[in-house]
Amino acid sequence: MIVEVCSSSLEGIKNASKAGADRIELCSALELGGVTPSRGFIEAAVGLTTLDIHCLIRPRAGHFTYSEDESKIIEKDIIAAAEIGCKGVVLGALTTEFTLDTKRLKHWKKLADTMYLTFHRAMDVVVDPKTVIKQLIDLGFNCILSSGQEEKAMDGLHNLNEWREDFGKDILIMPGSGINKTNCEVFKASGFSALHLSGSKPQTLIPIPTGVNNTISFLHQPLSVSDRQTIHEVVLKVKS
């Protein structure tokens, strides 16, 4: 089983590699559902040469209907990811009717060229998921990351199983959201060949010295990092 770890730090990538993960979905701002990482971060991640890097291409948080200006940013980010050496990109786009924006995705597929292409959790808000899956197969996508149209993959397991049974020969259905060491074996037993998790734990905030106004909110914003032990336990359970 492929274990993909969503990571927003070099430390997290190193931990995932040591834990036996297979690849990284690279992003920033996990607390917002992830946005496109900076070019410097992508270069550093690829430069580690430890795991294949699949870069999230999402210019902002929120819905997945993009303006022309946002679309141009996405195009540049896809090209940059390819130039830097990412093995894949993770992206998605919908119309205002929450159907697939096939025109944009077809163009982005051409820009991605031979990179592995994952359609992200925009899948979880489309109005007709089976039609969307057929369209993604026709567009040449390799993978769909989804929680089965629920907040957590365990709650959407019925949908995920149905999609895997109906379309799994043509596209990889990869469960993600809320997967951890206590429930990962459920997905293995169900017959999935890949799963996605962050495996993160909170980081200790740095001590605030006397004289600094510690009421400033950004000093207390929580930080997290992909945890080697957590990921290792998942790897042992799903790969044994």
> Which pLDDT score is estimated for 196?
98
How many domains, the chain? 1
pLDDT in tens, 69-102: 999 999 999 999 999 999 999 999 999 999 999 9
Q: In this structure, what CATH number is given to the domain that contains residue 160?
A: 3.20.20.380
Spatial distance between the Cα atoms of 165 and 160, rounded to a whole number of angstroms: 9
Domain of residue 25, residue span:
2-239
The CA-CA-CA angle for residues 204, 205, 210, to 5°, reads 135
Please give the pLDDT value at position 110. Answer: 97
pLDDT at 225: 94
User: With a cut of 70, which residues of the chain have pLDDT below it?
Assistant: none
pTM: 0.94
Give the whole-angstrom CA distance, residue 129 versus residue 211.
55
